[in-house]
Structure 1
Amino acid sequence: MMAISSPQYVWTLFTKPLIADLGTTLPDLQVTFSILIVLQTWLSPAQGALVERFGPRLLVAVGCALSAASWILTAYATSLAAVYFTYGVLAGVGTGIVYIGIIGQMVKWFPDKRGFATGMAAAGYGFGAIFMNFPVSASLTTSGLQHTLIVFGLLQGIVGVGAALFLKAAPTHGAAARPEPAVAGLRTRRDFTSREMLKQPVFWLMFAMMTMMSTGGLMVISQFATFSRSFGIDEKVLVLGFAALPLALTIDRITNGLTRPIFGHISDRIGREKTMAIAFIGEGLAIAALVAVREDPLLYVLMSGVVFFGWGEIFSLFPSTLTDTFGETHASKNYGFLYMAQGVGSVLGGPIAALIFSQTGSWMPVFGIIIVMDVLTGLLALFALAPMRRRLIGSAVEAEPALVTRPA
């Protein structure tokens, strides 16, 4: 997970040199990021089914290799279309295989600590770019774009493929033999197939909620360097003796990694929906605060970390909530369908957000929309998702009394 995080999280550092090399515009270039996320997410149901059928070791190794190849080949790209394919398509397919393969295994390996376990695995995806921000930023300055992509692409490929060879598939138990969960909130002991899950309104509510949260988070990730520079926060501004922009990105990766196991653990204790409300509404407030302190470099850098702390937890809360609701036997494939919401969010948070900025000349309308969506999603968790999950699990109990589901 650490080895395949940089194509997404370090992308913002590549936008400026790529725009200069290709002679393109920001909205056109940001299509690359959307292609990456769309393919990473929209192919995940098929990728999850392949992992369930053939096991994670081979497929995850192939995914890591594709992700590394995307950087190496982008170094030789001479057109925007080539970058769409090398950075967008190859990285999207490769990272998607790895991500869905790992998360699909974690929800099965640790059913009683599902939120914390998926949070720890997803933290690898958040933490991975910590080790890349300063080196990549420095390499871009001293050695240029091509050298940076080749060297760090090779490094990530070696680490990722090597780690994948140690993976072991999680055991899957039948629903009737599954132990009673020791976590807060309702959890089903019925295993829904993907077709059955897609017929349930509660799935589509989760899909809409994850789309809204992904939109805000991916806008910040993909555009962070761009809107920070428009606020006067760039590599030339120093904070605590460090260049402000790479320092902010490094802090962001730390908090983006920490939030996943922390909120996952909290959700194991107090329930998924309550945790979602706290995190999502808090994220909206954090973004409002980020905009308010944009003229103070120190506060801006610190608040950017709070913003990422309020977003990254979606990657522990949503997969654990989905598996709690629809069972673990088909967890990889089922989460693949929910993970597609990230792809929708990438389109809204990438080129659409950049287009709004180019049309209005300001990032304020974009931030305003995101704040509203974050707060709305937190309220939906409490007042819509919680009762809908309760009704679905209750109806499953009435239909199949042998498969008892009750609060811990």
Structure 2
Amino acid sequence: MHSAQPTTKLFYGWLVVAAAFVVTFVGFGSAYTFSSFVESLQRDFGASRGSVSLVFSLAGFLYFGLGVISGPLADRWGARKLAALGMALVGLGLMLASQAQTIVQVYAAYGIGIGAGVGCAYVPTLGAVQRWFVKRRGFASGLAVSGIGVGTLVMPPLATWLIASLGWRDAYLVLGILAVITGVGSSLFIADDPRRHGTGPDGDPLGSMSSAPVRQGVSIGEAVRTPRFAGLYAACLISAFGVFVPFVHLVPFAVDHHVTSALAVLLLGMIGVGSTAGRFVLGSIADRIGRDTFLIAMYVGMAVSLAIWAIAGGFWSLTIFALLFGVFYGGWVAILPAVVTDHFGGRNVGGIIGILYTSVAIGTLLGPSAAGFAFDVSHSYFIPVAISAAANVAAAFIAMATLRTDSPIASVAVP
């Protein structure tokens, strides 16, 4: 009877993927609602547009940078607890923002709630997904993080509708309650080890070759001292300086090129559409062509799309850029956790991903700000966008060189 369970019951790993989808949907969707509140916050608190723009960089630095803490904690305590705590912080931050009396209080609630909340939940959740899959790891990772793209599409319009219907304070309150209910509720379905559910990775029977290495792999200290980790870190760091520039500067760039504000905002939605497609579709392709090769292709694709942005001017050329960039950006985000697990094993994957993502945090903090200062000097985005494209070309070459180094898990039986 027990031997029939893996074929007659839904593989629990897909429930973990679904839970991760909801966690990323709630966390990043809530983060990207901030643009919907900017006009109301400016009006009620007299805030400048410049002071508002820094919030994205600071929150992004927190939710990528805190993975260095939450990842190892999840490896020790379990991803479920960290994800639930993170979703609770997201909801609490939104609810506190509804009671803010100054713009500084809004920033604090948003930064602590969204930044720390997503920072607690994101890396542990992705690390948990990796342990449930081997053969379809890229596809599962893509489905899990596609919640980011869908959340980017759904949550800002929902926030805009709530503001129009209830006012910005009650809108924050409703979003906070929804975040707690859906985020914490979905976190309860996250599990770290398929063996506790009677299967190996991919639903294979216990005792098969693919079911053995769930918790095997190198230690965090061993991982970070390898040339492969150094290469991955350098590629992510250099790439991230340019990757997040469009999220801050694409709309003002479009407006500077005589695109109406309403259409300019839609361009961010096009990045969301492209990234959702990239995460859903490209993950399975990565499993077939090789995940390392796929990662290099994503760097090249982001470089090409950013080069298109550098010479674009009208709405339709910017739409082409936004869609293409979204596809490759989504594929990059989807494949990174799977590549880390391939190289270093699943035993400490949360901690290793967390350390790797400090590179993305630094890029998120510095890249968009540097692009803004470059624009202030030159009154043009051409130089920062061209540098962003060149950075991703460099990242592709670094990733290719990394493949020539020895595998850290060559002596560990991880498929």
Q: TM-score range by the shorter chain?
A: 0.7 to 0.9
State the SS of the aligned residue for 1:73: helix
Q: Is the 8 A contact 2:247 2:268 kept in 1?
A: no
Give 1:41-56 correspondences, 5 Å limit: 41-56=64-79
1:344 Cα deviation after fit: 0.6
Of residues 364-373 and 46-55 in structure 1, the stretch that sits farther from structure 2 once superposed is 46-55
Paired position in structure 2 for 1:101: 124
* 1:283 matched residue in structure 2: 302
1 CA distance for matches of 2:227 and 2:103?
40
Matched, 1:258 2:277: yes
1:215 to 220, 241, 244: 241
User: Match for residue 193 of structure 2?
Assistant: 170
Q: Cα–Cα, structure 1 residues 235 and 138, in superposed 2: closer, same or farther, change >3 Å? A: farther
CA distance in 2, matches of 1:345, 1:178: 41
In structure 2, the residue matched to 1:200 is 226
Aligned to 2:407: 392
Tell me how far apart the structure 2 counterparts of residues 52 and 334 of structure 1 sit (CA, whole Å): 10
Q: Once the 2 structures are TM-superposed, how far is the Cα of residue 392 of structure 1 from its aligned partner? A: 3.3
Is residue 360 of structure 2 the alignment partner of residue 330 of structure 1?
no
Offset of 1:331 from its aligned partner?
A: 0.8
Write the deviation string for residues 303-323 of structure 1: whole angstroms up to 9, x where unpaired.
312111121222222211111
Deviations 1:203-225 (A, max 9, x none): 12211211223222222123333
1:249–1:59 CA distance, 2 compared to 1 (3 A): same
1:327: Cα distance to partner?
0.9
Q: Is residue 370 from structure 1 mapped to residue 391 from structure 2 by the alignment?
A: no
Q: CA deviation at 1:283?
A: 1.5
Aligned residue for 2:330, secondary structure, equals coil
Cα distance change on mapping 1:276 and 1:167 into 2, 3 Å: closer
Q: Which residue of 1 aligns with 2:109?
A: 86
Distance 1:363 1:23 in 2: 28
Query: Do residues 179 (structure 1) and 209 (structure 2) align?
Result: yes
DSSP 3-state at the match of 1:129: helix
Contact 2:234 2:398 (8 Å CA) reproduced:
no
Q: 1:77 to 1:214 in 2, by over 3 A?
A: farther
Q: Distance in 2 between matches of 1:300 and 1:188?
A: 44
Structure 1 residue 316 corresponds to structure 2 residue 346: no
CA distance in 2, matches of 1:339, 1:368: 24
Q: Which residue of 2 aligns with 1:381?
A: 399
Q: Quick one: percent identity of the two aligned structures?
A: 24
Deviation at residue 112 of structure 1 after TM alignment: 1.9
SS in 1 for 2:194: coil
Q: Larger deviation: 161-170 or 196-205? A: 161-170
Gaps of 5+ in 2: 1-23, 202-206
Q: Which deviates more from structure 2 when the two are superposed, residues 51-60 or residues 10-19? A: 10-19
Taking structure 1 as reference, are residues 293 and 144 closer, same or farther at Cα in structure 2, changes over 3 Å only?
A: farther
Give the letter for the 2:307 counterpart.
A
d(CA) in 2 for partners of 1:101, 1:121? 12
How many residues are paired up?
Answer: 382
Q: 1:285 to 1:21 in 2, by over 3 A?
A: farther
Which is further off, 225-234 or 22-31? 22-31
Go from structure 1 to structure 2 and tell me whether the alpha carbon gap of 1:144 and 1:299 turns closer, same or farther (over 3 Å shift). farther
* CA gap 1:178/1:85 in 2 versus in 1, 3 angstroms: farther
Contact persistence 1:118–1:316 (CA under 8 A): yes
**CA-to-partner distance for each residue in 1:125-172, whole Å, 9 max, x for gaps?**
221121123333455567654344333333333221222233333337
2:215 touches 2:347 (CA, 8 Å); kept in 1? no
Cα distance in 1 between the residues matched to 2:174 and 2:317: 34
Distance in 2 separating the partners of 1:289 and 1:274? 23
Structure 2 partner of 1:184: none
What displacement does 1:328 show? Answer: 0.6
Q: Distance in 2 between matches of 1:366 and 1:245?
A: 19
Could you tell which deviates more after superposition, 128-137 or 327-336? 128-137
Give the TM-score, by structure 2 length: 0.82
- Match for 2:151 among 128, 133, 137? 128
Give distance in 1, aligned partners of 2:356 and 2:266: 33
Instruction: Write the distance in 1 (CA, Å) between the matches of 2:163 and 2:215.
Output: 51
Q: Any conservation in 2 of the 1:63–1:94 contact (CA below 8 Å)? A: yes
Q: Which runs of 5+ in 1 are unaligned?
A: 182-186, 237-243
Cα distance in 2 between the residues matched to 1:387 and 1:159: 44
How many angstroms apart in 2 are the aligned matches of 1:12 and 1:354? 18
Deviation of the 1:95 alpha carbon: 0.6
Which residue number corresponds to residue 17 of structure 2? none
CA contact (8 A) 1:217 1:308 kept: no
Deviates more, 1:311-320 or 1:77-86: 77-86
Call closer, same or farther: CA 1:34–1:386 in 2, change over 3 Å: same
Partners of 1:335 and 1:179 lie apart in 2 by 25
Distance in 2 (CA, whole Å) between partners of 1:316 and 1:171 is: 21
Q: Which amino acid aligns with 1:392?
A: S
Indicate the larger mover: 286-295 or 365-374: 286-295
- Name the counterpart of 1:38: 61
Q: Secondary structure at the match of 1:5?
A: helix
* Structure 2 equivalent of residue 232 of structure 1: 258
- In structure 2, do the counterparts of structure 1 residues 9 and 291 end up closer, same or farther at CA, with 3 Å as the change threshold? farther
- 3-state secondary structure, aligned to 1:216: helix
Q: Structure 1 residues 284 and 48 mapped into 2: Cα distance closer, same or farther (>3 Å)? A: same
For residues 64-75 of structure 1, the aligned pairs below 5 Å read: 64-75=87-98
